[in-house]
Amino acid sequence: MIEKKRKLGKGLNALIRTAPENEYITIPLEVVVPTEDQPRKNFDQQRLNELAESIKQYGIIQPIVVKKESGKYRIVAGERRFRAAKIAGLTELKAIIFKGEEDYQISLIENLQREDLNPIEVAEAYAELIKRFDYSQQQLADKVGKSRSEISNCMRLLNLSGKIQDLVRNGTVSVGQARPLAVLEKDEQELILSRIIENHLTARQVEKMAKTKAEKLTSKKDMDQEWHKMEKDISATTNAKVQIKPGNTGISITLNFSRKSDLEKFYKKIKPGR
């Protein structure tokens, strides 16, 4: 059964460039299967039930997009609507047959535009789109209707340790608490994580703590680079392997000469009264 054509929503329609003459069809739910590459890992049951109630009253306003595959229709975009339709007791639903090559992209972007995804899932989806379609952050921002800074800030969450990402996924740690940690090394992140959990630190407190830690690490890194330059300069003039170690009470320097002649030349240079 072919139904009257309707315009797609702007975001999805802009992506379906290879199928300008899409038509809605009605297909039995029993032949519809979810995609194995669904970007969304979890579906909120309460929200599904709410959508199901809406579908009972008004039907499915926006059709799902499917790809015909071995006698079945695999979902490209609209799995949430599909699940809610099953809850609502529907036996069939509206769909658009899509045959383009960008179905994975459509699935990702459709979810990003229509769902409150877990923030880590959003970041992973952004990273996947950039990697898979060679987008710049600005190009991706234009695709999903976000600013470039929003994309950048979200993707920064992927710099977090796996443990912290999992805690953000399940809501134990908020995005506000976690994001400031992304500038730190993984071990430093988890040290502060312990304090977040034990002391119930606010996002502002975490931000201040992470900033202080990052400044100290930057200062130490700069100093380490300075020591390293000194080691190279001294080594170049002495032909020795040089190691400088700053300590609490002073700075030690070790010169390792591989040849006696080099040591003798060095000694002559520093010999008193030369």
Which of the following is catalytic: 21, 36, 50, 79?
A: 79
Contacting residues for 155 by C-beta, under 8 A, at least 6 apart: 123, 126, 127, 137
What is residue 117's DSSP assignment? -
The reply to whether 79 belongs to the active site is yes
* Interacting residues of 18 by C-beta distance below 8 A, sequence separation 6+: 99, 100, 101, 102
Please name the amino acid found at residue 19. Answer: A
| Long-range contacts at 193-201 (CB < 8 A, ≥ 24 apart) | 193/161, 193/163, 193/164, 193/167, 197/172, 197/173, 201/177
Spatial contact of 74 and 106, defined as CB atoms under 8 Å apart:
no
Catalytic residues: 79
